[in-house]
Amino acid sequence: MKITFIGHGYVGLVSATIFADLGNEVSVTGHTPKTVEDLNNGIVHIYEPGLTELVKKNVKAGRLKFTLDYDSIPDSDLVFTAVGTPPKSDGEADLSTVLDVARKIGENLSGYTVIVTKSTVPIGTNQKIKALVEKVKPEGAEFDMASCPEFLRQGSALSDTLNPDRIVIGTETKRAQDLLVELHAPLQKNTQCEYVLTNLETAEMVKYAANSFLAVKISFANTIAHLSEKTGADALKALDAIGLDKRIGKQFLQPGPGYGGSCFPKDVKAFISIAKGFGYDYKLLHEVESVNQEAKRFIIEKSEKMLGDLKGKKIGILGLAFKPNTDDMRFAPSIEIIDWLTQKGAEIQAYDPESMEKAKKIITNITYMDNMYDVCRDVDLLIVVTDWNEFKEIDFE
């Protein structure tokens, strides 16, 4: 098939590369000249294990190309939107880029095309896109809307895309549904996972519901950890025992500094905002957000219990990215933790295997070290914020 992706962030780049590797002809439209030039030369701007090699392979094979224009749309069977939907100040998803892209897609349509939304968008957005495209499309052009939410995890994005737990396809016509089932067939065969064939609104709902539920599990794990420290219980063993129940499962039941990244924080806020728009006060998710903030503050409280006044104390921070195996600093817990520590007068020295350059643009009042052992030397306290594997075997002597 001939496919166009709009957006070369995590979702767009990973998905486009996988579909190219499956034998499709894929064009990716971006908006940053340097990034587009680098990608065409096999230089990838994000850290994701295995991605650079796969991009290089498919660019060399001629199945994957990157561009600044929309010229590939008239010949495409499918056009995917994979642009960002950052939160506004009130938590509502900002759809300005999505709608701007939709207009440009509509203006360039020719023949029959399925417009597929892969961006995480509020329920009802695909109907807005449909109405917009109807107004601007050339006479004679036909299209259908579809929603195919992604469920990849940063750090294991290639594996998650190639081995999905389920494939959600929301459409209004069988023609669009059949085309997308055919496109995803090689991925479905990998795991024999289920297709969830549904309408646009349900597909939009699934993404927010899934991320919000995982955020609930993370906050629940942190409440158990907090309570365990007060009662003398072993939180890790308690959560391990809970996770052995097949109805619950172990994933996302690890306590820590709270969730961060590009998805959970904004999607929980957006889901609260969506519910409010329909007249429902999502109290559960308000509490999930509150617990997530408490998880970060609790680290500061523990630091003060161990050291007393933090003024002049030297504290080492291991891990800056929001999770291991990524360089993403978006909503990383380390940002607030370090900010609070420095406000209390602590001197911070930090290290992360992949996110140092991005972190330096965000956190400017600390000392960045060359390796994890330099961080440990002469500190009063060491905080492991991101559980990179290399931190698990530190020789403290």
- Enzyme catalytic residues: 263
3-state DSSP assignment of residue 316: strand
Kindly provide the b/e burial profile for residues 185-213, where b requires at least 16 CB atoms within 10 angstroms of the residue's own CB.
eebeeeeeeeeebbebeebbbbbbebbbe
Residues contacting residue 246 through CB under 8 Å, at least 6 positions apart: none
Give phi and psi for 138, each to the nearest 5. -65, 155
* Token couple for 380: 């009063």
Residues contacting residue 278 through CB under 8 Å, at least 6 positions apart: none
CA distances for 34 relative to 4, 30, 67, 87, angstroms: 20, 10, 11, 26
DSSP symbol at 318: E
∠ at Cα 343 (342, 344), nearest 5°?
85
β-partners of residue 87 are 93
CA distances for 55 relative to 49, 281, 345, 355, angstroms: 12, 44, 45, 21
Residue with tokens 């996770």: 243
Give, for 367, the enclosing helix (H) or strand (E).
strand 367-368
